[in-house]
Amino acid sequence: MSERELRVLSPTAILGYGFPEESFRRGIAKKPHLVAADAGSTDPGPYYLGSGKSFTDRAFVKRDLAFMLREGLAIGAVVVVGSAGGSGAAPHLAWCRAIVEEIAREERLSFRFGVISTDVPKERVKAALRAGRIQPLAFVPALTEEAIDASTHLVAQAGNEPIQRALDAGCNVVLAGRCYDPACFAALPVHRGFDEGLALHMGKILECGAIAATPGSGADCAFATLYEDRFVLEALNPARKFTRESAAAHTLYEKSDPYRLPGPGGVIDLTACSFTEIGDGRVAVRGSRHERTVPYYVKLEGARRTGFRSISIAGTRDPIMIKGIDAILAAVSKQVESMSGGKTRGRVHFHVYGRDGVMGPTEPVKEIRSHELGIVIESVAPTQEEADTLTSVTRSTLLHYGYPGRISTAGNLAFPFSPSDIRAGEVYEFSVYHLMELDDPADFPLEVVDIKGGAR
């Protein structure tokens, strides 16, 4: 009797990052039961959730989705996309749904389409807060009703259960709002009776595409075969392979604890996990377990607008200015504040690349070793006009500031662009990053639509 297996194709780390067509077709030739992609992340910051915009380009999202839908449906695979549109809120879900339906019309595709919304009404969140059913994540302040009201969008990071509900309804294409990254890969296997721990760990690796291969890439495909007691990883590009080290190293990726990975309703326990090379660039993974937790928590994400941003990018190569850069920037800030009469509404921050532009005050190397510095002047203020003004006056003050030892008076900065000042628009910050108890993990709105020959 042959061993039961479920085959999964992950085209790319995030929908819209792209992948080589050759890699994808090698994956399709293996007849996967599931073609899935995670489409979102909080890594690009709160702006995209707050503004309702995608951080990936529409043309490449459509390109990736067209391959997944056309080729996946042709072989009878289930197609699942999670965290639609990047952040998974209502405008992101609608944006991605329109692309799916556009492809269906152009390709004359037929499928049962499940669309899962993971937006959470503000009143529901407030009720949970009052009932003591919300708690903050580490280093996050306690949630307030003011923060809830100020959030433009509120989403919950759903688990496997809402996707499984769509599968129960017969959907073979599922588009979900914000959800746990591995869920779009794990929901179908768990629905078909495979081990939840193995399925979620497999999903945690596959959601990054070929990043866990070597050399890694988020813009390439990965393939996994799930069995009763293990899953096997393989790359689909001859230039890459999975090794024991590359697969195991992925357990360190974006994790505070490589052994215990919390998610909706439980924790993936990897303390007994093993990685074994089995030849041909493949790795078998065993021992992953999932521990259910009570109560069932989902992560809430929300963002609020805090103002508007303007920036100016410049550089300096003067060793005298470089040596005194800290005192110079402090003096410029003081002069700008003085000229405004102490009535400046906004703040200026200098990002100094070549000193501590990446790590800021946590940079351990205190001595400047660069022969040149890149300086980004960033202003944030309540209105765009105020941010523009603050950037302009700070830029001009720094450009002509007479620091000790300066010889040339032609200007202190080199600007790569004209105009030198750039409007960066609205600024958002995360206002909600908390855990909320759910009584029913599948309790998210599901719409089921039959698409026939591209028409609803």
Closest Cα to residue 380, out of 306, 450, 438?
A: 306
**Strand pairing category for 282-286 and 231-235:** antiparallel
Interval 10-66: pLDDT, tens? 999 999 999 999 999 999 999 999 999 999 999 999 999 999 999 999 999 999 999
pLDDT at 254 over 80: no
Closest Cα to residue 9, out of 246, 225, 231, 298?
A: 225
Sorting pLDDT into bands at 50, 70 and 90, what band is 361? very high
Closest Cα to residue 197, out of 277, 258, 253, 260?
A: 260
pLDDT at 1 over 70: no
Q: How many Å apart are CA 30 and CA 9, to the nearest integer? A: 9
In 209-357 the beta strands, taken as DSSP E runs, fall at: 222-226, 231-235, 260-263, 266-269, 274-279, 282-286, 289-292, 296-316, 347-353
pLDDT at 9 over 90: yes
Of 88-97, 252-261, 417-426, 445-454, the poorest mean pLDDT is in 252-261
List Cβ neighbours of 78 (8 Å cut-off, separation of 6 or more): 33, 34, 35, 72, 167, 172, 173, 174, 188
Q: What mean pLDDT value characterizes the chain?
A: 96
What's the CA dihedral at 135, 136, 141, 145 to 10 degrees? -50
Percent of residues, the chain, with pLDDT higher than 90 = 94
**Strand pairing category for 78-82 and 111-116:** unpaired
What's the CA dihedral at 277, 283, 286, 288 to 10 degrees? 140
Closest Cα to residue 178, out of 155, 200, 151?
A: 155
Widest pairwise Cα distance in the chain? 85
Closest Cα to residue 30, out of 211, 192, 236?
A: 236
Do 8 and 206 meet the contact criterion of CB atoms below 8 Å apart? yes
Q: How many Å apart are CA 397 and CA 224, to the nearest integer? A: 58
pLDDT attached to residue 111: 98
Helix axes 58-74, 21-29, angle to 10 degrees: 20
* Helix or strand run (H / E) with residue 111: strand 111-116
Q: How many Å apart are CA 206 and CA 64, to the nearest integer? A: 16
pLDDT at 331 over 90: yes
Closest Cα to residue 262, out of 298, 226, 302, 212?
A: 298
Q: For residue 123, how many other CB atoms are within 10 A of its CB?
A: 9
Residue with tokens 């007479």: 402
pTM higher than 0.85, yes or no? Answer: yes
Interval 66-122: pLDDT, tens? 999 999 999 999 999 999 999 999 999 999 999 999 999 999 999 999 999 999 999
pLDDT attached to residue 231: 98
